[in-house]
Structure 1
């Protein structure tokens, strides 16, 4: 059978593009090497418990945001519970900072912890930028431009407010903090850096204002918990595809893509699939290895990032029994002295909802823990126990868990990420933001300017479920504009 579109990988960018193309009546086939859909935005089952693979919280459902657009366009329904408080941050000085979802409450909290000097104007500025960014992102679905028709479509959709965003692409978050006189506030600088690391994969001297302000404000939009885990975000998309006559084929590890006179042939470990069009939803480093076309490889080479510029993760999954249910499910803990081996300065922990018996039986919870690993292709973790011990000690010190309540523990290094996901270097979180790479210099959705496209967290706009959802929207739209 020859499909209209074959998509490589079932990350949320691929699933978004697949759903939008299936809605248009195209026969879509998604090839996934694992046994679950969703890539880094899903869950996996171990010994009867459901753990999150990567992402643990969901945003992007407010009006004018990408995930809202996908669900409204397709009619897909996802089980959701809005979080009253998105997150708490445990700072180096022992204070606990609550990231309230309401802007005024959050500003009051920031002033309480960091002092009143310019917190209000700084956060109002960042929130205004973030609103403009999200509003513009769906209006300008031809961005980044890679063909003359993109410019024409962008010109037809341009609004005065969009042009006002342009200077923010040239300013770093370090410059923004300097403007508001906040660089001398070390506690605040450390907070901003560790928050940016989990949302933009880099620090304030590298992240531009457009992405940085948006990343810092994600808790000021509605944050959701998905009962049963993020597997229940992607399963409804899978069901939608099946109902539309399309399919996801599991256990299919893509090995090679060949361009044919009338389309593409994708060869996997189990067979080959022909299609008129192709979308790669796997990282650019992996995508490049699938193609033997030298011109395409030369075109992609400038967009690739080596291990030295990427982040991996050390992750842990816990089963807790008899633990006091937390009032807030998501926490970031700062480690000023740094963790052993990795040097990481923060830990992120997410608990399952105590009432969520899909993920753990009544009276038990699961917890997903992660910390960044720089240069994951070269930093080898020989002794996981040392890092496990340091993380558990830090969490217990903050009162986030009692070690005697740990029923089971598992951990994984970037090497395990390579084994599970096949992502180059075991890198997670997408390509970090760098100041020398402006948004329009990021890889756009067109892969070869024939019939192949790309989406995911290593192309525009980058990180997070909401970001890859937007990349899938753009890939689908450009394919339709180019060929249908």
Structure 2
């Protein structure tokens, strides 16, 4: 069967694009190598419990945010429970701070922990930048530019507030801390670095102000829990696509994308499919290997980041029986001296909601744990047990878990991510932000300037469910702009 658009992978960027295209009446087909949709924004079932595959937090439903745009455009509804507060951070010195949604409450909390010196102007500034960034993200859907029409359309949508953001592309978060004389407050610097790592995949000397301020402020927007796990964020989108006449085909690992007369041929281990257009929702490193055309490969190569610049993840899943449910579901725990073998300096743990009977029965909780592994291609983990023990010990010291309540324990290295998702090197979290790569230098949605496009966490704007959702919106915008 010939389709209008074939989409490679069912990550949330691909699903966003597929839903918006299906709404326009195009015949779409999503090819997914796994048996579950959603990629890194999904859940998997093991021994009767639902664990999160990768992402565990959900933002983006507020006004001017991409996920809100998707749901409003399609009428899709997602079952969510708002979390307040969304997170607590356990610092290396033993202090625990709560990331409140209210800016005033958060500033008071930051002043309590880090001291009053310039916390208020710093956070007010970051929040103002983040609001402007979110507004601009949907106003400028032709960004980054890769042809003259992009530039003209972007110019037509320019607002004075957008021009004021330009300076932030040339400043790092380190510059912002210097501006507010916070760079010598080491406890605060460590806090900022570890918060940036889970949102921008890099530290303050590399992350520009636009991404950094937005990343640091994500807890100041509505955060949500999805009963049953993030698979239930994905399922309503999949259902919408199929109701609109689209197809989702599982167990279809794409091996090659070839140009043909009038479109593309996409080959998998089980056969081949034809379409007028194609959208890759897998990372740039994987996408490069799929295209045969030399010009497309050359165009992509200059945007590719090697494993040395990427992060993998060491993940754990716990089932806790008889443990008192935590008041806050998401926690970041700083680890003095770092974890053994991998050196990571923080751990992120997310608990299932105590009333969520879809993920675990009454009296039990599921905990999803992750920590960074730098240069995943090089850092092969031979002994998982020593890392597992250090993580459990760190979480137990903070009172987040008790060993005697652990009913089930499992862990996975970046090698497992290669097996689960097929992502090159087992890299997760997307391409990190780097100061030498300005937003307009990031890879845009066009692959070959003919009919192939790209979305996901390795192209603009980058990480997180909300980021890949925006990338899917932009891919659709450019496809329609080019051909309709």
Could you tell me how far 1:155 is from its partner in structure 2? 1.1
- Is 1:235 the equivalent of 2:211? no
Could you tell me how far 1:86 is from its partner in structure 2? 0.6
- Is 1:288 the equivalent of 2:299? no
Query: What is the aligned partner in structure 1 of residue 92 from structure 2?
Result: 92
Could you tell me how far 1:355 is from its partner in structure 2? 0.4
Q: String of CA shifts for 1:264-284, please: whole Å, max 9, x gaps.
A: 000001110100000000000
Could you tell me how far 1:380 is from its partner in structure 2? 0.8
CA distance in structure 1 between the aligned counterparts of 2:151 and 2:269, rounded to whole angstroms: 40
Counterpart secondary structure, 1:10:
coil
Alignment map for 1:238-253 (pairs within 5 Å): 238-253=238-253
Query: What is the aligned partner in structure 2 of residue 222 from structure 1?
Result: 222
**Which structure 2 residue ranges, 5 or more long, are not aligned?**
none
CA distance in structure 2 between the aligned counterparts of 1:84 and 1:383, rounded to whole angstroms: 38
**Which structure 1 residue ranges, 5 or more long, are not aligned?**
none
Query: What is the aligned partner in structure 2 of residue 318 from structure 1?
Result: 318
CA distance in structure 2 between the aligned counterparts of 1:300 and 1:169, rounded to whole angstroms: 23
CA distance in structure 2 between the aligned counterparts of 1:187 and 1:60, rounded to whole angstroms: 29
Q: What's the TM-score, normalizing by structure 2? A: 1.00
CA distance in structure 2 between the aligned counterparts of 1:365 and 1:27, rounded to whole angstroms: 41
CA distance in structure 2 between the aligned counterparts of 1:188 and 1:429, rounded to whole angstroms: 23
Query: What is the aligned partner in structure 2 of residue 55 from structure 1?
Result: 55
CA distance in structure 2 between the aligned counterparts of 1:292 and 1:475, rounded to whole angstroms: 21
Counterpart secondary structure, 1:165:
helix
CA distance in structure 1 between the aligned counterparts of 2:457 and 2:412, rounded to whole angstroms: 21
CA distance in structure 1 between the aligned counterparts of 2:155 and 2:383, rounded to whole angstroms: 55
Query: What is the aligned partner in structure 1 of residue 150 from structure 2?
Result: 150
Query: What is the aligned partner in structure 2 of residue 266 from structure 1?
Result: 266
Counterpart secondary structure, 1:318:
strand
CA distance in structure 2 between the aligned counterparts of 1:296 and 1:453, rounded to whole angstroms: 11
Query: What is the aligned partner in structure 2 of residue 481 from structure 1?
Result: 481
Query: What is the aligned partner in structure 2 of residue 13 from structure 1?
Result: 13
Alignment map for 1:77-476 (pairs within 5 Å): 77-476=77-476
CA distance in structure 2 between the aligned counterparts of 1:467 and 1:336, rounded to whole angstroms: 31
Q: String of CA shifts for 1:60-86, please: whole Å, max 9, x gaps.
A: 000010000000000000000000111
Q: String of CA shifts for 1:49-105, please: whole Å, max 9, x gaps.
A: 000000001000000100000000000000000001110000011110100011000
Counterpart secondary structure, 2:287:
helix
Could you tell me how far 1:462 is from its partner in structure 2? 0.1
Q: String of CA shifts for 1:12-65, please: whole Å, max 9, x gaps.
A: 000000000000000000000001110000000001100000000100000010
Counterpart secondary structure, 1:370:
strand
Counterpart secondary structure, 2:302:
helix
Could you tell me how far 1:333 is from its partner in structure 2? 0.2
CA distance in structure 2 between the aligned counterparts of 1:27 and 1:409, rounded to whole angstroms: 43
- Provide the aligned length of Structure 1 versus Structure 2: 484
CA distance in structure 2 between the aligned counterparts of 1:157 and 1:338, rounded to whole angstroms: 46
Could you tell me how far 1:156 is from its partner in structure 2? 1.1
Q: Which runs of structure 1 show a deviation greater than 3 angstroms over 4 or more consecutive aligned residues?
A: none
Q: String of CA shifts for 1:359-395, please: whole Å, max 9, x gaps.
A: 0011101000000000001101100000000000000
Query: What is the aligned partner in structure 2 of residue 24 from structure 1?
Result: 24
Counterpart secondary structure, 2:97:
strand
Counterpart secondary structure, 2:342:
coil
Q: String of CA shifts for 1:376-415, please: whole Å, max 9, x gaps.
A: 0110110000000000000000000000100011100001
Counterpart secondary structure, 1:164:
helix
Could you tell me how far 1:295 is from its partner in structure 2? 1.1
CA distance in structure 2 between the aligned counterparts of 1:184 and 1:213, rounded to whole angstroms: 19
Could you tell me how far 1:301 is from its partner in structure 2? 0.6
CA distance in structure 2 between the aligned counterparts of 1:84 and 1:159, rounded to whole angstroms: 33
Counterpart secondary structure, 1:425:
helix
CA distance in structure 2 between the aligned counterparts of 1:298 and 1:347, rounded to whole angstroms: 38
Could you tell me how far 1:261 is from its partner in structure 2? 1.4
CA distance in structure 1 between the aligned counterparts of 2:425 and 2:242, rounded to whole angstroms: 33
Q: What RMSD over aligned residues (CA atoms) do the two structures have, in Å?
A: 0.4
Could you tell me how far 1:158 is from its partner in structure 2? 0.7
